[in-house]
Structure 1
Amino acid sequence: MLHTDPANSKTLGADLRAIRKARGVTLTDLAERLGRSVGWLSQVERDLSDPSVDDLRKISAALDVPISMLFSHAAAPAGEEGFVVRKGARRSIGNREAGLVEELLSPDLTDDFEVVHSTFEPRSDIGEAVARPTQEVGYLVSGKLDLWIAGRKFTIHPGDSFRIKGEVHRWSNPYDEPAVAIWVIAPPVY
């Protein structure tokens, strides 16, 4: 039986299913990549079976997500799970290699979108431009950020917002202070 109560949606299985679907990967495809049965994977997604740490490593690699996304995070107080994410309970997502620290503000990954808190460290740069099949809207809370969207350069200041609709884009924070942005991304990519 599927749970529709938001308090029951913040599970490894629900997040795994959301990530898999956002990547356009079927149960059969992922099971084959993992060398596991569709039945086992289905049980993991329904929280009827717990994968080993080695399984989680394979799943994170197959879905191209950091393994930390698949580990449990701080539990919300009774009555808040699925509704509220406290500052100290945010899940770290992405990687810090380019100087970007990201935290998931959404309670889980089961919605049609995700909300992300991004901190671009001083003197950081993504390097190569990226494109992903998403629609994204960002709002800069503090600092300054250089952003290239579809070949056009913009310097974003606090209070500015921007939209990326699948275009090739890149960012750079050549400034001396961190830039903090809130992003809404659909469909979820983490």
Structure 2
Amino acid sequence: MIGPHLRELRQKRNLTLKQLAELTGLSTGLLSQVERSIHDPSLETLRRLAKTLEVPLFSLFAEDDVQQVAVVRRERRMKVGSPHGGIGYTRLSPGSGRLELLEGRLEPGAASSEEPWSHPSEECVLAQAGELLVEVGDSRIRLEPGDSCYFDSRVPHRFINPGTDTATFLVSVTPPSY
């Protein structure tokens, strides 16, 4: 699903594979494999592509069917994870609106990214199970199940699981971003 849509986005911007590779810092070979659906991109690769192409990350999973009311069945949810393990996201919203709802799973000791990062959105995170440490700028907020936290995503941020159990959480992002 990602490959053909990525090719379409790249071509609409009149970019060659080599130009996109230079802009993202990814190899031409990797991008070619992703476009031909030979390789599934990692979360970091998707973030780089979305940021460079200026599209929400989950929009790379093309869904052109915009409806007034949308149902996302459990078995048809979009999922993305890190190749190193530790973090995984499942999109609960349809991906065609101005709000994105994600379910996150973070393994003990894992972080959502190596370094805090930013994007032009607002987020609200709700801890469901385990412990979740939310780093936003210089702030470190510890959330337990039922606790929530809102922040401006333009401030570098990330999620960390300092506990010994898997942390699960919901994240609402508006507008959807990379």
Query: Fold-level match, TM-score > 0.5?
Result: yes
CA apart distance, 1:161: 0.7
Letter in 2 for 1:185: V
Aligned to 1:6: none
Taking the aligned partners of 1:151 and 1:171, their CA distance within structure 2 comes to 13
Aligned to 1:99: 86
Seq. identity, %: 22
2:121 is aligned with 1:119: no
Letter in 2 for 1:70: F
Aligned to 1:139: 126
Considering only aligned residues, what root-mean-square deviation do their CA atoms show, in Å?
Answer: 3.8
Change in Cα spacing, 1:66 to 1:167, as seen in structure 2 (3 Å) is: closer
Match for residue 161 of structure 1 among 142, 148, 171: 148
Instruction: Please list the CA deviations of residues 67-97 of structure 1 after superposition, one character each: whole Å capped at 9, or x if unmatched.
Output: 995378xxxxxxx996211222211135353
SS of equivalent residue, structure 2 residue 123: strand
Q: Structure 1-normalised TM-score? A: 0.60
Aligned to 1:54: 35
Aligned to 2:15: 32
Consecutive unaligned residues in structure 2, runs of 5 or more: 19-32, 40-45
Aligned to 2:26: none
Consecutive unaligned residues in structure 1, runs of 5 or more: 1-10, 36-51, 73-79
Q: How does 1:60-99 map to 2 (within 5 A)?
A: 62-63=49-50, 69-70=60-61, 83-97=70-84, 99=86
Change in Cα spacing, 1:121 to 1:103, as seen in structure 2 (3 Å) is: same
SS of equivalent residue, structure 2 residue 149: strand
Query: Quick check: 1:34–1:62 contact (8 Å CA) kept in 2?
Result: no
Taking the aligned partners of 1:85 and 1:164, their CA distance within structure 2 comes to 26
CA apart distance, 1:179: 0.8
Query: Quick check: 1:68–1:92 contact (8 Å CA) kept in 2?
Result: no
Number of matched residues? 144
Taking the aligned partners of 2:141 and 2:168, their CA distance within structure 1 comes to 16
Aligned to 1:171: 159
Match for residue 110 of structure 1 among 73, 96, 105: 96
CA apart distance, 1:149: 1.3
Misfit runs of 4+, over 3 Å: 52-57, 60-72
Instruction: Please list the CA deviations of residues 127-176 of structure 1 after superposition, one character each: whole Å capped at 9, or x if unmatched.
Output: 21111111111111111111111211111011111112121212211211
- Whichever of the two has the greater Rg, that structure is 1
Change in Cα spacing, 1:69 to 1:112, as seen in structure 2 (3 Å) is: same
